[in-house]
Structure 1
């Protein structure tokens, strides 16, 4: 599994969440909300410190990661993070590994 983040999403994190060098950003599973991937669950994002990061990516000295306990949500899919141009919010998509 991999995390792929678009350039506009990196900019969104910097502007909207005030993410800066040295920060750690966690993608986590939360109960409720809507997801085109796992009904009844949705993906959240917060600044946090890794406990058991299973997957991570670093950009401009910022680490973006997913904890081991949240891997079930992705069911072998990569996480693709971009920005919805109309809503100006993060948009998540999922791609099956090796697909």
Structure 2
């Protein structure tokens, strides 16, 4: 399982959340979100556990708990600075 987060999205999270190297961000599925499927992505500062799936981007650890892994398989996150929005693609919902 892998997910991709663009440098623009990482910089946005770094600025908005005050992240520094060594910080950890948990990605998780939320129900009743704004998408057509009813699912959306949650993001929170947290610490990974041994069984979590971890990816390191420029010193920031992004991780997913095992029960949420299905949602982020092949997910991509990008940031459009002109529209000031995060662009998220979730192939797992297709």
Q: Please say whether Structure 1 and Structure 2 have the same fold, judged by a TM-score greater than 0.5.
A: yes
2:77, 2:88 within 8 Å by CA — same for their partners in 1?
A: yes
In structure 2, stretches of 5+ residues that fail to align are none
Q: Which runs of 5+ in 1 are unaligned?
A: none
What does the per-residue CA deviation read over 1:19-66, in whole Å, with 9 as the maximum and x for residues that have no partner?
111100111111211235xx1221111111113312x22123211111
**Alpha-carbon distance, 1:95 to partner:** 4.3
The TM-score, its normalising length taken from structure 2, stands at 0.81
Relative to its length, the structure with more helix (as a share) is: 2
Calculate the TM-score normalised by the size of structure 1. 0.77
Runs of 4+ in 1 over 2 A off after TM superposition: 84-87
**Equivalences, count:** 91
